[in-house]
Amino acid sequence: MELVSYDWWAFCFRWFHILSGIMWIGLLWYFNFVQTPSMPKIPDEQKPAISKVIAPTALFWFRWGAMSTIATGLILAWLNGYLFNAIKLGIGDGTHKYTVIGIGMWLGTIMWFNVWFIIWPNQQKVLGLVEASPDEKKKAGRLAGLTSRTNTMLSIPMLYCMAGASHFY
């Protein structure tokens, strides 16, 4: 007798995928629509509270939200039997659902890569967690910011594809 059914596992990973995605994209949008535009308005003596307390904690949840989202999404695709078809964008299958979910997965993967290999290493310099000269910090801040804005723009078609695959097909 099966202790926990396939349906339970599929639902569980879908739920964790949604929760992780909300954490990740919610923080992404917080950084780009709230924190970054608000920084010039914050008095200089109060800015250390952002860079020493809020930003490191928010970036922790941001990057692990990204990791959890991609991990649960890949497991979910595998459990539902479309992982390979989505990775190859449905090419040769004649199934639009795999193309749409595949585009969403690839966009999410690019965004995940940006978080872990561009944004986070550069933010470590900006926040003083890794030693860097003032010039290196400035360049790192610019690159992290541009990459974060790129992820914000990629999140819109990514979310559209993720929702579209399950609601249109």
pLDDT higher than threshold 70 for residue 21: yes
Segments making up each domain of the chain, as ranges:
6-38+51-167
pLDDT category of residue 168 using cuts at 50, 70 and 90: confident
Between 165 and 3, name the one with better pLDDT: 165
pLDDT higher than threshold 70 for residue 110: yes
pLDDT higher than threshold 70 for residue 59: yes
pLDDT of residue 1: 54
Task: Tokens 């929760």: give the residue.
Answer: 19
Rounded (5°) CA angle 27-15-150: 30
Three-state SS letters, the chain: CCCCCHHHHHHHHHHHHHHHHHHHHHHHHHHHHHHHHHHHHCCHHHHHHHHHHHHHHHHHHHHHHHHHHHHHHHHHHHHCCCHHHHHCCCCCCCCHHHHHHHHHHHHHHHHHHHHHHHHHHHHHHHCCCCCCCHHHHHHHHHHHHHHHHHHHHHHHHHHHHHHHHHHCC
pLDDT category of residue 115 using cuts at 50, 70 and 90: very high
pLDDT higher than threshold 90 for residue 94: no
pTM of the model: 0.93
pLDDT category of residue 2 using cuts at 50, 70 and 90: low
Q: Do the beta carbons of residue 48 and residue 10 sit within 8 Å?
A: no
Listed as own residue / partner, the contacts of 144-149 with beta carbons closer than 8 Å and 24 or more positions apart are: 144/118, 144/119, 145/36, 147/114, 147/118, 147/119, 147/122, 148/28, 148/31, 148/32, 148/36, 148/114, 148/119, 149/32
Q: Mean pLDDT, the chain, as a whole number?
A: 95
Give the total residue count for the chain: 169
Between 19 and 95, name the one with better pLDDT: 19
Residue 108, CB half-sphere, CA atoms under 13 Å: how many? Answer: 29
